[in-house]
Structure 1
Amino acid sequence: MTADTVAPLAFQPAQRVRAIGVSEILRITDHANALKRAGRPVIVLGAGEPDFDTPQNVREAAVRAIGRGDTRYTVLDGSPAMKAAVQLKFKRDNALDFALDEISVSAGAKQVIFNALMASLNPGDEVILPAPYWTSYADIVQICCGVPVAVACTGENGFRLDAAQLEAAITPRTRWLFINSPSNPSGAAYSAAQLKPLCEVLLRHPQVWVLADDIYEHILYDGLAFATPVAVEPRLRERTLTINGVSKAYAMTGWRVGYGAGPRALIAAMAVVQSQTTSCPSSISQAAAIEALTGPQDIVAERCADFQARRDFVVAALNRAPGLHCRVPEGAFYTFASCAGVLGKRTRGGALLQTDSDFCRYLLQDFEVAVVPGSVFGLAPYFRISYATSMAQLEEACARIIAACAALE
């Protein structure tokens, strides 16, 4: 380097991403999979992804689209045919009517959320997140210069937000409330009767919009009827964005199609954001999603029954483990069990378990089971298991977890 050469400055990330990392769930899953590749018999119960294949009729629809040459750009936020399929879905499943210009289609439900917050949040605006919450919620809020406001919803209240908590959390800066039912990570779901008091609070605070994340709508157990805020309280329609997608119910995580329906002004602003990021979703994925939403629906109920059998097994097994307690989730494919009873104990190697992260690390290192600590979701001391895997894997994993708890001193 010559005397007149200036040394390059080290890269400095933008302020909005400095405190945010890659999803902790993905990090844990990647680490566990690396151990598997190294030859260790690790069972990974971290990913929120159905283990079923995409239905055959959906795959065939994609192949037909390729054969027709449907490989070009579509309309920015979803083809007319895709929006019509979403329109049909909302009317059929939720008795909700949306015009095509009240619907947005994106590359996954996560992008719908990002578009909505990027289009609506100003610096310092607050977003209420009932905890436990999906980890990406808080990170997306922060990237969009908002302030996540976590409200602890413990197992004693079924991991559900109540009206008094909501009222106390609202301030003049509150812009959004997130409702995810059934929930990732807890599996908790709201009935219409449980949503009604929350809606009554919201009616008194017209500045607060509602983001209803219904992505697990069709994975609901024990005959519980699905409920979504705008169907429970139609007066909230003009400030509610209802989000869903094909990833979970139809095992289409890799196809990347999500959608939302809400007020025209919001949908138009979201389209502006999408126009400068991904543009339209994949044309082939849209063709597949149209078939998923409009084709035969029997497979959805069949797979839900399989998930319920797995849920029942995992909950029973965890409640046999010394020091663990697991409530029965109403939906999704996760358990969110308390590990408070094992904290303060020591492993056979002498390590003291002080946090849920310590417990999860112990399970992975000593018993080769990968789960996610509740602190990642904003509520400790719990841990999440995804039971979207085979019963054989779940049986072995739960046996290891019971043994791990029994081995603590």
Structure 2
Amino acid sequence: MKEINKVVLAYSGGLDTSVIAKWLEDTYLCEVVTFTADLGQGEEVEPARAKAEALGIKEIYIEDLREEFVRDFVFPMFRANTIYEGEYLLGTSIARPLIAKRLVEIASETGADAISHGATGKGNDQVRFELGAYALKPGIQVIAPWREWDLNSRAKLLAYCDRHGIEIQKKKGKSPYSMDANLLHISYEGDLLEDPWNEPEEDMWLWSVSPENAPDEPTYIELTYKSGDIVAIDGVEMSPATVLAHLNKVGGANGIGRVDIVENRYVGMKARGCYETPGGTIMLKAHRAIESITLDREAAHLKDELMPRYAKLIYNGYWWSPEREMLQAMIDTSQTYVSGCVRLKLYKGNVTVVGRESDLTLFDESVATFEDDAGAYDQKDAAGFIKLNALRMRIAAQKGRKLL
């Protein structure tokens, strides 16, 4: 690695990244620029400025990226009804390409030679950050301290802070879990969750009430869609970030969005994680409902076939790849007529679609009715349709081919 003069660090203000800021200065004898993103994690990000200043950092970036995050990353992902391995709504995965984008942009703005992050060498995030960075700025250098240093425990990190006079605020009642949050979700890993047999403790969950303690009366909401994206809730127009924040609140209040899964990480291991995604859970159900009346059958089926590939690309860190962009172009084209309104009932952890309507609907009651269809559909046509589709099987049977 060539000489590093300046590095942009993805900085949270916590223990790990505070140690990394000092370690980078001492190890590479370089200047450090900090970048802190507000993605709707629910905590004030401005205190990171004071912490960075206390470390002697001169260039400090703190940015509110909530609208960009939902508009340009979350909403496009939900147009595809994306879900990884049948359960995970990719809350952490989809935030990483935006952070990678800003890291390399800030590196260009400040003349930095490298970027750095606090992801460990055992997880997916190192891959996501770095694939994104290399795709957007091929010559950028990446420093991943967890793959270089020997400060591989909390005790060693705290001892490093003591030696170098790094002040770390110890939060009372701090969660024992490794957590990540943004407007789409909050995740929990580690501690007792490392044994897949252990049930999560109820007080672990921060965004949602348990379904048992949710209200005894259902909550009804109406979501208005335009070209595949939610633009209003209960008739009130909202920005993308406001939509998701509102759905998180109403979903969490009704016990919606908890999952407990063991997922397959890109680096090869299985990992157990718990996630709260109340707004995303509602969005997935509602989007499929509006597509059910506005999207052509074969277009819908093709999307469903391609979705697992698309989900895997995002999970594995390939948001900025040409194949994801190709798929996105197809997905976005499919949403041209996906507009209308969906009515949902939220009740004790469940999201139930109870109505859908659209001026662009493909649902034709005169054809679908069980009553007199007044000649809109000739039932006699079905006989020839069935016989033609059975032809290959009839021929095989006549030739003595056995099915079992």
TM-score, L = length of structure 1: 0.27
Larger radius of gyration: 2
For normalisation by structure 2, the TM-score amounts to: 0.28
Select the structure with the greater relative contact order (CA < 8 A; seq sep ≥ 6).
1
- Higher fraction of strand: 2
